[in-house]
Amino acid sequence: MSEPLFGKIALIGIGLIGGSIALEARKRGLAKHIVAATRSAETAALANKLKLADHCGTDLAEACRDADLVIVCTPVGACGPATKAIASALKPGCIVSDVGSVKQTVIADMAPHIPEGVHFVPAHPVAGTENSGPEAALLDLFQGRWCILTPLPDSDADAVAKLEAFWKGLGSQVERIDAKDHDRILAITSHLPHLIAYTIVGTADDLGGHLNSEVLKFAAGGFRDFTRIAASDPTMWRDVFMNNREAVLEVLQRFQEDLFYLQRAIRWGEGDKLFDLFTRTREIRRALIHLHQA
């Protein structure tokens, strides 16, 4: 059997992503020891009961002592404070990464706290479900999914290669992208759909009035499928929108313009415009299925 990639991995935060990394890394023998830490004693107790890691405590710095790889798995707004809390415990040569779906602000928040001799390699596994917390952890969550690495210009090449090998070891496909490009891409592919889903559920609730129970009863098909992601973790998504503000506002402006175009086409009975758009978008959706990302 080949030697594990890392002696010790520390996961700071043990929800859906942190818990899934722990399960998968153990299953695939990627580390000798896997420990986790979270501020909440209740969450730590649940993670220990579920046996996600070898141990989960509430002392973030203690968990990182002697770790070869530390992955911050908190909501993006907490990445900076978490890195500050663990900085003194990081050993030289350790790789520090994250799983945030926003990269520029996370890099700006984390980088100042990374000690000399520690390698910072930001990352984002583009995988997940609408569920959250340790009990949401899943095996095979990353299988065939993308993990995007956004190394800094001065990131250590060996550390980047090792983190890439780790994510491939978890079953992911890995791509390296500039942090700014990442944030613009995710604004349209992930952040805007979540914003729309939250909005549609709110609109349905407001419009329902005395029909609210009927709205819920008949919320099948499109409404149910599209709004699944509106059940996602509120803290995480608040932080995403606050930390990727510029890219989200830019793509939201474009979306509003396209929506007005459709609104006008419906008002003036321009069925050909609707048909042309639906035909084009149908092909794009089929391409997604072909790429196994749907």
At 226 the pLDDT is 76
Instruction: Give the whole-number percent of the chain exceeding pLDDT 70.
Output: 97
Residue 130 CB contacts under 8 Å (≥ 6 apart), including other chains:
228, 229, 230, 231, 232
pLDDT at 268: 97
Lowest model confidence (mean pLDDT) among 64-78, 85-99, 214-228, 232-246: 214-228
What are the pLDDT digits (tens) for 47-66?
A: 999 999 999 999 999 999 99
Distances from the Cα of 231 to the Cα of 12, 129, 234, 292, angstroms:
23, 9, 8, 23
Q: What is the pLDDT of residue 227?
A: 79
Instruction: Return the pLDDT at 210.
Output: 75
Predicted confidence at residue 231, as pLDDT, reads 85
The tokens for 52 are 């996600």
Per-residue confidence at 90, pLDDT binned at 50, 70, 90? very high
Q: Tell me what pLDDT residue 287 has.
A: 84
| Helix (H), strand (E) at residue 56 | strand 55-57
- What values do phi and psi take at 271, rounded to 5? -60, -30
- Please provide residue 23's backbone torsions phi and psi, each rounded to the nearest 5 degrees: -60, -45
Query: Which pLDDT value is given to residue 247?
Result: 96
Identify the bridge partners of residue 125 per DSSP, sorted by sequence position.
147
> Sheet of 146-149: strands edge to edge?
123-125, 146-149, 173-176
Mean pLDDT of the chain: 93
CB neighbours of 185 closer than 8 A, spacing ≥ 6? 177
Q: Cβ-count burial of 96 within 10 angstroms (0-12 exposed, 13-18 middle, 19+ buried)?
A: buried
Domains and CATH numbers, the chain: 6-177 (3.40.50.720), 181-290 (1.10.3660.10)
- What is the average pLDDT across 184-190? 95
Give which of 90, 39, 88, 48 is closest to 69, Cα–Cα.
90
Confidence class for position 205, pLDDT limits 50, 70, 90: confident
Give Cα 115 distance to the centre of its chain: 25
Q: Taking a C-beta distance cutoff of 8 angstroms, is the pair 35, 93 a contact?
A: no
**Residue 232 in tokens:** 């996602």
As a whole number, mean pLDDT of residues 249-263 equals 96
- The CA-atom distances, in angstroms, between 109 and each of 81, 103, 106, 270 are 8, 10, 5, 49
Q: Please determine, for residue 269, whether its predicted confidence score (pLDDT) is greater than 80.
A: yes
186 and 89 in contact (C-beta within 8 Å)?
no
Identify the weakest region by mean pLDDT among 33-37, 86-90, 132-136, 218-222. Answer: 218-222
* pLDDT for residue 293: 56
Residue 134 and residue 43 in contact, taking contact as beta carbons nearer than 8 Å: yes
What are 249's two structure tokens? Answer: 């506002």
How many residues can be counted in the chain?
A: 294
Res 71: pLDDT: 98
Q: What is the pLDDT of residue 1?
A: 55
pLDDT at 224: 79
Q: What is the spatial distance between Cα 113 and Cα 117, in angstroms, rounded to a whole number?
A: 12
In this prediction, residue 222 carries a pLDDT of 73
| Nearest-angstrom CA–CA distance, 184 and 178 | 10
- 261 or 128, which is more confident? 261
User: What digits encode the pLDDT tens for the residues 132-185?
Assistant: 899 999 999 999 999 999 999 999 999 999 999 999 999 999 999 999 999 999
Q: Check: CB of residue 30 under 8 Å from CB of residue 4.
A: yes
β strands within 100-234, DSSP E:
119-120, 123-125, 146-149, 173-176
CA gap 13, 265 in Å, rounded: 48
Residue 114's φ and ψ, nearest 5 degrees, are: -80, 120
Q: Give the three-class secondary structure for 121.
A: coil
